[in-house]
Structure 1
Amino acid sequence: MNWQPHAAALATRVTHHTSRWRGPVASVPRHQFVPNWWQRTPAGWALQRGADDTRTWLAVGYRDISLITRVGPLHADHAKPDDQPQGMPTSSATLPSLLVRMFQHARLDDCDELLDVGTGSGYGTALVAQRLGNHRVTSVDVDPYLVDAARRRLERLQLRPHVVLADATDELPGGYDRIVATVGVRPIPASWLAALKPSGRLVTTIGGTSLIVTADKRGDGSAVGRVEWDRAGFMRTREGEDFLPRSDALVDMARTAEGEEIHTGPYPVIDTEQAWDLASMLEITVPGILHGYEEMGERHTTWLAHEDGSWARATALGSERPTVHQSGPRRLWDTLDEIRAYWLQHGELPLRGANVLITPDGQTRLSRGKWSAVL
């Protein structure tokens, strides 16, 4: 297949012509790292196999999009054409522009040793191996198949970074000048700071948010940095084959039940999950909230649910004030309204640009002005 023009065009789209990442993006055949993927359809997940339609394979493989490669425990490489997996995506090939931005946040020098957390398809590992050289790159993933597949795909390109099967939240192999994670974590694992060399730099996202944290290690073992103004969204780390199942009974209550408390809210209904800054602030305040949004004509409904049994639902026509139902130990919609009120009062939320302090045990403190939060 004549993939080189597609890779060159992708490199032009996602890098500046003077960028050191232009060459790696143009020279790595991304389609070989994603031979099969899942596509979401109204009926569910549909398997896409590159070998069945090479034109689509090249067109999709070199678009600047993420490609879902695993849903629940079922990898696309192991699926049959009529399989319809259930659950959430558990692995993907990240969109190339985001990979480049994450590596740029790391401020890589040619002599740096890098830990790439979240091997996934292996495409991002290939980019940094091209950029730094095989011996300077270690990549870890918790999924045995992904690790084996990435090794084989990298080997075909004569790339031989150290690809390791490991839970990234546990002890890590070696010491590194830079750690870049393409998975979301909360809290930041203490093992990452232990593996980071003095003056080393960490780049990660906070699990369940779009917040990118960059931090540099100090002599006392802590790290200081900030929440970048940039945004990114990654899957959370997982320990097993799948994420823990959500409570369908709780979700059903959030969608349909009468609340213990019913009132008229002050702000219009919005899709909270797609309001990235709002959703991130809510996640920092109350970690682990599930979101849902539905439209039926002019009728808009948003629901929130938490594993502690709290749930909330707001329904309205158009931009009218919503009817809010809430139940459980916490009033989730009240928390959301408090965040929206803060936004209106101050003109922005305090997350982006916040100072970050990570202690050696992994406790992370965010602060900006009078606001602060500890993860």
Structure 2
Amino acid sequence: MQWETHAQRLADAVTRPESDWYEPLATTPRHVLVPRWWEGTGSGWRVRDGASDRAEWMRSAYADRTLVTRVGPAHADQTMPGAVVTEGLPTSSSTLPGLVVAMYRHAMVSPESRVLVTTGSGYGTALMCRRLGTEQLVTSVDIDPYLVEAATYRLDSIGLRPRIVVCDITGSLPGQYDRIVSTVSVRPVPSSWLASLRPGGRFVTTIADTGLILTADRLEDGGAVGRVEPDPAGFMRTRHGADYDYPTDGVREKALDQEGDEVGVCRYPLLYPPDSWAVMSMLGLAVPGIRYRQSSEGGIRTVWLLHPDGSWARATATEHLASPTVHQGGPRRLWRELQRVRNRLNREGELPVYGARVTITPDGETTLSRGGWSVTL
């Protein structure tokens, strides 16, 4: 199969020829690492099989897009082509190449860097091996034994043999490293990362419930300092079993159409927080654990905020009505928390999350600060 032209086109789209990442992108056969994937249908997910439609395989594998490879506990590899699931969230993927490279750039790897990365499909691992020119410096970890087995086999088939380990990245890590790059989101920063980083080493990750990329360099005392990078990103959060827990399912049933304990009209137009990285991040720092849902039907838009503690908010507006009606229930008023964030944005013109200074103690306590604002995770 002639994949090289497609890979070079992807490299041209993601970076420039003089970049250290151009050749890894142009010489890595992503399609080998993603033979099947889940494609969103609007009401669920359908398995696509590359070998059944090679033209689509090339288009999808070499586009700068995320390919979901696992929904709930179901691997696309182990599911019949064309099968559809209507429940569950993505639990693993081959992240869009441009974002993988952006995370790696933040890590500032050198040819001598000993690096730990997360596995998934193995594509990011392959890029790092190509970039360093040797797989001997690369360790790749994943909590899913099947993903480790599949990535090991597929990477070997393209001549790459890094160390790949079944490992919960929030626990003890299998070695000492100069760089740790996590393409799953965490909260808090695992103290094991600081223990496994050499002094001067750097980690790059995203904070769960936010769109914040955090980079930090380890200090001699075992802590770290860094910053929130100016570019936003979001990754699946870490899980510790075959699937995520769904603690807001019961809350959602209450929030669907129940009258709220408090009912009012919002002063701002209806906003789905994930559509605004800064607003979602600020809200996620203030109230971690919120899950978001939305729908649009018959000219009516509805946004739900759901929290495991039983709090919920439902905001509804017609397309021509700027001010939504908001119902809220449970122990906290989630829409009021969102209003506070939007009031600050309206008052100050920006939110302080991007560009914030980061300080981390040796046990992983992480504080973000900028100007007079600070929050500890």
TM-score (norm 2): 0.97
One-letter amino acid of the counterpart of residue 247, structure 1: T
Q: In 1, are the aligned partners of 2:293 and 2:304 still within 8 Å (CA)?
A: yes
Which residue number in structure 2 is paired with residue 353 of structure 1? 355
Structure 2 unaligned regions, length at least 5 = none
CA deviations on 1:248-297 (whole Å, 9 max, x unpaired) are 33112222110011111111111222222111111111011011112234
Q: CA separation in 2, counterparts of 1:183 and 1:319?
A: 38
* 2:41 equivalent to 1:2: no
Q: In 2, are the aligned partners of 1:226 and 1:356 still within 8 Å (CA)?
A: yes
Q: CA separation in 2, counterparts of 1:275 and 1:49?
A: 34
One-letter amino acid of the counterpart of residue 345, structure 1: R
Q: Once structures 1 and 2 are overlaid, which stretch shifts more, 37-46 or 203-212?
A: 37-46
Q: In 2, are the aligned partners of 1:216 and 1:224 still within 8 Å (CA)?
A: yes
Q: CA separation in 1, counterparts of 2:76 and 2:131?
A: 29
Q: In 2, are the aligned partners of 1:366 and 1:374 still within 8 Å (CA)?
A: yes
Q: CA separation in 2, counterparts of 1:156 and 1:81?
A: 23
Which residue number in structure 1 is paired with residue 243 of structure 2? 242
> Which of 340, 343, 346 does residue 341 from structure 1 map onto?
343
1:320 Cα deviation (Å)?
A: 2.2
- Secondary structure at 2:174 match in 1: coil
Q: CA separation in 1, counterparts of 2:183 and 2:360?
A: 19
Which residue number in structure 1 is paired with residue 23 of structure 2? 23
Q: Once structures 1 and 2 are overlaid, which stretch shifts more, 11-20 or 249-258?
A: 249-258
* 2:303 equivalent to 1:298: no
1:319 Cα deviation (Å)?
A: 4.2
1:246 Cα deviation (Å)?
A: 3.7
1:130 Cα deviation (Å)?
A: 1.0
Q: In 1, are the aligned partners of 2:10 and 2:64 still within 8 Å (CA)?
A: yes
Q: CA separation in 1, counterparts of 2:340 and 2:42?
A: 35
Q: In 2, are the aligned partners of 1:269 and 1:319 still within 8 Å (CA)?
A: no
Q: CA separation in 1, counterparts of 2:181 and 2:274?
A: 25
Q: CA separation in 1, counterparts of 2:248 and 2:210?
A: 21
* Distance 1:202-1:83 versus aligned 2 partners, 3 A rule: same
Q: In 1, are the aligned partners of 2:248 and 2:306 still within 8 Å (CA)?
A: no
Q: CA separation in 1, counterparts of 2:16 and 2:261?
A: 55
- Secondary structure at 1:351 match in 2: coil
One-letter amino acid of the counterpart of residue 331, structure 1: R
One-letter amino acid of the counterpart of residue 25, structure 2: V
One-letter amino acid of the counterpart of residue 121, structure 2: S
Which residue number in structure 2 is paired with residue 326 of structure 1? 328
Q: In 1, are the aligned partners of 2:248 and 2:310 still within 8 Å (CA)?
A: no
Q: CA separation in 2, counterparts of 1:187 and 1:253?
A: 30
Aligned pair count reads 374
Q: CA separation in 2, counterparts of 1:60 and 1:172?
A: 33
Q: In 2, are the aligned partners of 1:212 and 1:232 still within 8 Å (CA)?
A: yes
Structure 1 unaligned regions, length at least 5 = none
CA deviations on 1:310-366 (whole Å, 9 max, x unpaired) are 011111223421211111111100000000000011111110000001111111100
Which residue number in structure 1 is paired with residue 199 of structure 2? 198
CA deviations on 1:161-212 (whole Å, 9 max, x unpaired) are 1111101111001110111110000001000010000000111000121100
Which residue number in structure 2 is paired with residue 53 of structure 1? 53
Summarize the alignment of residues 208-223 of structure 1 with structure 2, pairs less than 5 Å apart: 208-223=209-224
Q: In 2, are the aligned partners of 1:264 and 1:321 still within 8 Å (CA)?
A: yes
- Secondary structure at 1:202 match in 2: strand
Which residue number in structure 1 is paired with residue 168 of structure 2? 167
One-letter amino acid of the counterpart of residue 330, structure 2: G
Q: Once structures 1 and 2 are overlaid, which stretch shifts more, 322-331 or 31-40?
A: 322-331
CA RMSD of aligned residues (A): 1.1
Q: CA separation in 2, counterparts of 1:367 and 1:306?
A: 25
Which residue number in structure 2 is paired with residue 364 of structure 1? 366
* 2:230 equivalent to 1:229: yes
Q: CA separation in 1, counterparts of 2:42 and 2:373?
A: 42
Q: In 1, are the aligned partners of 2:359 and 2:366 still within 8 Å (CA)?
A: yes
Q: In 2, are the aligned partners of 1:68 and 1:93 still within 8 Å (CA)?
A: yes
1:82 Cα deviation (Å)?
A: 5.0
1:139 Cα deviation (Å)?
A: 0.6
Q: CA separation in 2, counterparts of 1:287 and 1:302?
A: 18
Which residue number in structure 1 is paired with residue 264 of structure 2? 263
